[in-house]
Amino acid sequence: MPLTALAYETEAVPTNGPQIAHRQPVASLTGVTKRYGNALALDRLNLSLRPGEIVALLGPNGAGKSTAIKLLLGLIAPTSGSTRVFGSDPREAATRTRVGAMLQVSRITEMLKVREHLDLFRSYYPNPLPIADILRIAQLQGIEERLFGQLSGGQKQRVLFALALCGNPDLIFLDEPTVGMDIEARRGLWSEIRLLAATGKTVLLTTHYLEEADALADRIIVINKGRVICEGTPAEIKRNSGGRRIRCHTSLSAEVLQSLPSVTNVEHSGEATIVTAIHAENVVREMLRRDETLSGLEIASPALEDAFLALTKN
């Protein structure tokens, strides 16, 4: 379970949070409802992206993640509500020159070389990034003369990522960007996404990898059945799921532990005792004071996955 490696995580708020909150949103969905026939894909959804932040849109399949992205890209129109990107309608061509997208595409033209794909996409934009920069950012050096059809799954994903960058956009949508990539390639892409945000670009990504949202996002928006059910920093979302987990060998009884302030759960796992508490530091201090034989202490943040499962479980 890789997420437990995030143990002892600080719960600090993002350093630039307060300033960001006052700025004009880059893109927003306001009270947006989208129906497909009788099916309700989005139900009065509100969502806004602020300049320079990375937002992860999380949710089970069919939650409405892709619908939200398609609305923001102007590919579909909302049934009701309003969609704004850079203050105007995302369907306008002028808006699209400032936006880049990586969508879930099953196949793109296989008989074109990587360089040719980039050359074509760059021609769509008034201020494209130089090809050398795109190749470097998306780590495509050395394979630019290969046909798309000859690339591995991870390389294909990187080409799609490169296409999203061609126009040097201010706002980038990444729909499941690291599907089919190995761990190393995935981490490589994460650092590129962080670099983009550091240059002031706004990124909205959807992902199935909770680890990815945890590692990348300034803010996570959890949606289910077309509605936002939770929103906050990764740490906030994890805290909402009942606090951090203290694991140790202790002679204290479950009743005593349960009585300590902010403890939400106590359970036994073999020899070890697992205490879940919101203010973990205070609880540990108290436990050490009462039990001098306490050993094998570990404190872990709950996995985002646990928080996520707790939140989307109806």
Partner 1 sequence: MSTAATAISLPATSNPARIYAKEAKYEFIKLIRTRSFSLATIGFPVMLYVLFGIANRHTFESGIHLAKYMLAGYACFGLIGSALFGIGVGLSSDLAAGWLELKRSSPMPVAAYLFAKCASAAAFGLIIVTILTIIGISFGDVHLTSAEIVKMLGVTFAGSISFASMGLLIALLVPATAAPGIINLIYLPMSFLSGLWVPIKFMPHWLQGFAPLLPTYHLSQIMLSIFHYNDSISLTTHWNALIGFTLLMLGISRLIFHRKEQNA
SS3 at position 77: coil
Supply the minimum distance, in Å, between the C-beta of residue 86 and partner 1: 13
> Site residues for partner 1, window 196-225 (CB under 8 A)?
198-199
**Size of residue set near partner 1 by CB under 8 A:** 42
Rule CB under 8 A: say whether 128 interacts with partner 1: yes
CA angle 300, 305, 306 (to 5 degrees): 65
Contact between 195 and partner 1 by CB under 8 A: the answer reads yes
Q: Between 32 and 129, name the residue whose CB sits nearer to partner 1.
A: 129
Instruction: Quote the CA–CA distance of 311 and 274 in Å, as a whole number.
Output: 21
Q: Residue 264 interacts with partner 1 (CB under 8 A)? A: no
Q: Single out the residue of 16, 62, 133, 272 in contact with partner 1 (rule: CB under 8 A).
A: 133
Instruction: Kindly state the helix (H) or strand (E) to which residue 101 belongs, with its residue range.
Output: strand 99-102
x/- letters, 71..110, toward partner 1 (CB under 8 A)? --xxxx----------------x--xx-x-x-xxxxxxx-
CB atoms < 10 A from the CB of 23, how many?
11
CA 38 vs CA 29, 41, 62, 223: distances in Å: 21, 9, 14, 20
Strands 54-58, 202-206: parallel, antiparallel or unpaired by DSSP?
parallel
Q: How far is the CB of 301 from partner 1 (least distance, A)?
A: 32
Give the residue with the Cβ less far from partner 1, 17 or 74.
74
136 to 149, 177, 188, 203, 216: CA distances (angstroms): 21, 17, 12, 19, 20
What mask, x for binding partner 1 by CB under 8 A, covers residues 142 to 181? -----x------------x--x---xx-------------
CB 32 within 8 A of CB 71: yes
Give the footprint of partner 1 on this chain (CB under 8 A). 36-37, 73-76, 93, 96-97, 99, 101, 103-109, 111-112, 116, 119-121, 123-130, 133, 137, 147, 160, 163, 167-168, 195, 198-199
